[in-house]
Amino acid sequence: MAVKITNHPEALPIRDFDVRTDLLSVSDLVELCFADRLSPDGEALLRKMRSSAHNKRFQEWAYSMAGRVSMPFTGYVWVEDDEIIGNLSLIPYHVGGRQYYMIANVAVHPDFQRKGIAHSLVCQALEFLLPKGLDGIWLQVDEGNQRAVDLYHHHGFIEVSRRTTWMLRPSDLPEEFLDWRVPGFTVEGHRARHWPQQRRWLEDNYPPEVRWHLPLRPEYLRGGLAGGISRLMLLDPKISQWSVMAGNELIGVVSWQSSKTQADWLWLASSPETEGVLLDAFLPHWMNGTGFKRSLRLNFPARKTNHSLETHWFKPTRTLIWMKYDK
C-alpha cells in the first residue's frame, strides 16, 4: 500500500505526486527549470525517469514502495488547467537508525514563478513532515540560486555545509607531471592498520548526514579480512585503494571506485593540510598504472584549501548548499 501524504488545503491546486501518472510531466518540468544546471549524471537520471514513465511494472512497484525507500516516489505537484506547473519531491532515508527526509526537485514552470507556488509547496511539505518527529529535514540547493536560498531561510532552514563536485580528465594532466615524484613520500597498497585513521578522515570529509546520497559505502573501504572479503564479493563497483606515506607516517588514503556514468569516483581521506601532497603523490602513480584511465569525480567539502584541487587540474562543476530545518 502506497503511503498517502494528503494534508493540503483544498483552496490550493496542490495534490499528491503519483508516480504512475506524473513521472513524465515532472521530468519535463525539472529539465525545463534546471536545464542550465544539469550535470551529465542529472541528464542520465532524467533519461531514466522518462524511460520509467513508460514502464507500467516499475510504476506499480514504485507506487507500492512510496515513502519506504530512498527514492523520490512521494511529494506534491501544483496543477493548473490539468498541467503540472510545480513540483516538490520527498525522499525518506535512514542513517544509523535515525530517520530523515530530504526535500528535492522543487521546480516551478518559468511562466508561473514569483507567484508563491514554491513557498506553498514547501509549507505543505513541512506541514506533513514536522508532526512525524524526524531526526532531521534536509535539502540541498545550488549556491548560485539565491532566490531559493532566501526562500529556504525564510522557512527555517540553515546552512550546514557546502559541497563541490570536481572533475578531472586524464588528458588535462601535463605529461611532465607523470614523472613527478615527491621526495620522502611513497604510494603503497592499503593496509589494515590504516583503516582506523582513514575512517576518521572519511567521517570528516563525508559525514553520514550528507553521505547517504553518494555511492560511498565505508564498509567496502575498511581494512582487514572483513573489508577484503566484502570487496571480493562485489561484482560492481570495483574498488582500489592506495596509502600515501611519509616514512612510517600515514598522510592519507585515496580510494578509487568504478562507475557506469561518465566518470569514476575518488574518495579522499586525509587532513585538509595534506590534501595537496596526497594528490602530488597519488596522481602520477595512478596515471602510470596499468589500465584505461577514465575521468575522475570528487565530491568534497567547499573550503579554502580546495585550491589544492585546482592546482591539480580538477575543475569545479557545481557547489550545493546543504541546509537543515532548524526551527
Q: What is the grid cell recorded at 97?
A: 537508525
The CATH number that domain 14-155 falls under is 3.40.630.30
Residue 93: all three cell numbers together: 532515508
CATH number of 167-317: 3.40.630.30
Question: Would you state the pLDDT for residue 286?
Answer: 93
Please, which pLDDT band fits residue 10 given cuts at 50, 70 and 90? low
Reported as a pLDDT band with limits 50, 70 and 90, residue 1 is very low
In tens, the pLDDT along 167-181 reads 999 999 999 998 988
Q: In terms of DSSP H, where are the helices of the chain? A: 23-34, 40-52, 56-65, 117-129, 146-154, 195-205, 208-211, 224-232, 275-287, 307-310
* Residues 146/244, Cβ–Cβ less than 8 Å: no
CA–CA separation, 168 and 324 (whole Å): 30
Q: What are the residues whose beta carbons fall under 8 Å from the beta carbon of 174, sequence distance 6 or more?
A: none
What number of other Cβ atoms are within 10 A of residue 110's Cβ? 10
Helix (H) or strand (E) holding 239: strand 239-246
Residues making up the chain, counted from first to last? 327
Residue pLDDT, tens place only, 84-113:
999 999 999 988 889 999 999 999 999 999
Say which residues have a Cβ less than 8 Å from residue 180's Cβ, sequence separation at least 6.
Answer: 280, 284
Other beta carbons within 10 Å of 316: 15
Q: In the prediction, which pLDDT does 226 show?
A: 72
Average pLDDT over the chain reads: 90
In 3D space, the residue among 69, 92, 75 whose CA is nearest the CA of residue 16 turns out to be 75
Whether residue 139 contacts residue 315, with contact meaning beta carbons closer than 8 Å, is answered with no
The β-bridge partners of 92 are 101
Q: Residue 274 gets which letter from DSSP? A: G
Please state, as a whole number, how many other Cβ atoms lie within 10 Å of the Cβ of residue 267. Answer: 24
Every domain range in the chain assigned CATH 3.40.630.30: 14-155, 167-317
- The residues with which 49 forms a beta bridge, in sequence order, are none
Residue type, 292: F
Query: Measured between alpha carbons, how far is 263 from 317 in angstroms, rounded to an integer?
Result: 13
- What is the Cα–Cα distance from 136 to 157, expressed in whole angstroms? 11
pLDDT range class, residue 5, cuts 50, 70, 90: very low
Q: How far apart are the first and last CA of the chain?
A: 32
| pLDDT tier at 292, thresholds 50, 70, 90 | confident
